[in-house]
Amino acid sequence: MKRGHLLNRILMLALFAALLIYLGVYVWDSMNDPFTTATAYACTVDDAMEATGFLVREEQVIQGNGAVVDQLFNEGEKVARGQTVAVLYGSAEAAERRGTLLALENERDQLQYALTQSADAGDNARLSGEIIDAITTLRSSVASEDFTRLEDQALELKSLIYQRADAFGTEEEGGATVAEMQNRIQALNAQISALQSQSSRDTTPVTVSQSGTFSGMVDGFETLLTPAGLENLTPADLDKLSAQTPQQDATAVGKLITSSTWYFVCALSEEQAANLTEGKDITVRFSRDWSGSVDMEVERLGPPQGGRMTVILSTDRFLADTTLLRKQTVDLVFRSKSGIRVPTQAIRTEERSETDEETGETTVRQVTGVYAIVGVQAEFKEVTVVDQREGYCVVTPVTTGVPGTDKKALRSGDEIIVTGKDLFDGKVVR
């Protein structure tokens, strides 16, 4: 019995020592095998280059000689032939009279409208809804700091409120009687006639002889940069233009852009220009004064000069959004790649044996992939690297097309193993 008891104790001690050794090895491996993970996510990367150049348009400066100019069109708005785009005033007093005249005409129109409306619940509700909409529009313009139509929006709101009060108010509620409104209209007509007589002597309308797009900005480049002059423009010419600050026409009231086609001209190195092909499109991404992208055709690649080439791009899109732009730094995006972003360290190349079921022949091939954590195990997922950047790769999952198998392919959101030793399919990692 004593001998058996001794053997049991020896066996227990051996098992305990083995357990300690196992735990020690596990801790050692853990300390020397830092296990880190990262989340894979979808991304798009661009092959792009930065370029600084000029926007070029068919532009006609609209001349004026008044002391005060009142532009009647918003930036980028379409103008028809023969339309008045601005009013010139001989003095500030004349401009003030014009403002008074417009206010009186607006009040008269409000009263005339009120007289013609039936005071039923439908009109009441409609006007109330329009007032709410006008207030919302006004608040939105103020919040976005868009003050181009603020005065018109305020006048519109005032008009609606006036219509609401006069059309549906009673005498007890402060509403005007029909007779009172008619008398007020007569008085307004007299004031308007007197101001119109004065305004005809000290205001000059400015009309355009052809249709186009209106712009209130005149920067002096209108005659220095024209579509007709682009063909002979060299990189040296662009350098000179970049250093210039053209004299602006103080008498101009704006300009008319007479063609929907506009251009972006810049100088690129011969190496950069090699990525472009005449007649092909390239995406131009603006980000400074306008946030937008537009596909432009490579109109012309000029002859090399000092290792650089003039590049001319053209489009007929987004003209109204770009009328204020002249010298701009943009990104020329000539290729985009989409896929799943993973750290470069997570990419692994392994040998995989495959056996042909029909012939029984076994082949070994090199495969590229990542280990993803599925449940508590590591699972190898084959990928194709489509782009490599600093610290990460863009990959696409390799799929077989066999139903039921592609669900194992790498997906955005998978947790992948970045660092780890002795990984294999099915290894318990958690």
- The mean-pLDDT minimum among 84-93, 320-329, 345-354 falls in 84-93
Q: At 343, list the tokens.
A: 């750290």
Mean pLDDT across the stretch 63-73? 81
Q: What is the DSSP letter of 248?
A: P
- Residue 19: per-residue pLDDT: 74
Q: Is pLDDT above 50 for 8?
A: yes
Q: At 216, list the tokens.
A: 């209130």
Break the chain into its structural domains and give their ranges: 1-32, 36-43+340-419, 49-60+212-335, 85-206
Q: Which CATH number fits domain 36-43+340-419: 1.10.10.10, 3.40.50.2300, 2.40.420.20, 3.40.50.300?
A: 2.40.420.20
What is the secondary structure of 324-349 as a DSSP string?
Answer: T--EEEEEEEEEEEEEEEEEGGG-EE
- Is residue 214 within 8 A of residue 80, CB to CB? The reply is no
List of residues 6+ apart from 79 with CB closer than 8 A: 73, 85, 208, 211, 212, 213, 214, 256
- Is residue 375 within 8 A of residue 388, CB to CB? The reply is no
- Is residue 370 within 8 A of residue 347, CB to CB? The reply is yes
List of residues 6+ apart from 389 with CB closer than 8 A: 45
The reported pTM is 0.66
Q: Please tell me which residue, 176 or 369, carries the higher pLDDT value.
A: 369
- Is residue 188 within 8 A of residue 107, CB to CB? The reply is yes
Q: At 215, list the tokens.
A: 């712009």
Euclidean distance between the first and final Cα of the chain, in Å? 45
- Residue 21: per-residue pLDDT: 73
Phi/psi for 112 (5° steps) reads -65, -40
- Residue 170: per-residue pLDDT: 45
Total residues belonging to the chain: 430
Q: Taking all residues of the chain, what is their mean pLDDT, rounded to a whole number? A: 84
Q: Is pLDDT above 60 for 31?
A: no
Mean pLDDT across the stretch 4-17? 72
List of residues 6+ apart from 148 with CB closer than 8 A: 74, 75
CATH superfamily for domain 49-60+212-335? Efflux pump adaptor protein, beta barrel domain (2.40.30.170)
Mean pLDDT across the stretch 73-98? 86
What's the CA gap between 338 and 344, in Å, rounded? 16
Please say whether the dihedral angle defined by the alpha carbons of residues 319, 57, 141 and 101, taken in this order, is positive or negative: negative
- Is residue 68 within 8 A of residue 95, CB to CB? The reply is yes
The answer for 100, left when phi > 0, alpha when psi is -120 to 50, beta otherwise, is alpha
- Residue 120: per-residue pLDDT: 47
Q: What is the pLDDT of residues 245-276, one digit of tens each?
A: 898 888 899 999 999 999 999 999 999 999 99
Q: How many CA atoms lie within 13 A of 108 on its CB side?
A: 16
- Highest mean pLDDT pick, 60-74, 161-175, 320-334: 320-334
Q: At 332, list the tokens.
A: 């020329």
- Residue 121: per-residue pLDDT: 42
What's the CA gap between 350 and 63, in Å, rounded? 74
Q: Is pLDDT above 90 for 279?
A: yes
Residue that is written with structure tokens 């024209």 in the block: 226
Phi/psi for 52 (5° steps) reads -115, 125
List of residues 6+ apart from 271 with CB closer than 8 A: none
- Is residue 345 within 8 A of residue 60, CB to CB? The reply is no
Mean pLDDT across the stretch 331-344? 93
Q: Is pLDDT above 50 for 392?
A: yes
What's the CA gap between 391 and 46, in Å, rounded? 16
Please say whether the dihedral angle defined by the alpha carbons of residues 402, 404, 408 and 411, taken in this order, is positive or negative: positive
Burial pattern 381-415, b for ≥16 Cβ within 10 A else e, equals bbbeeebeeeebbbbbbeeeeeeeeeebbbeeebe
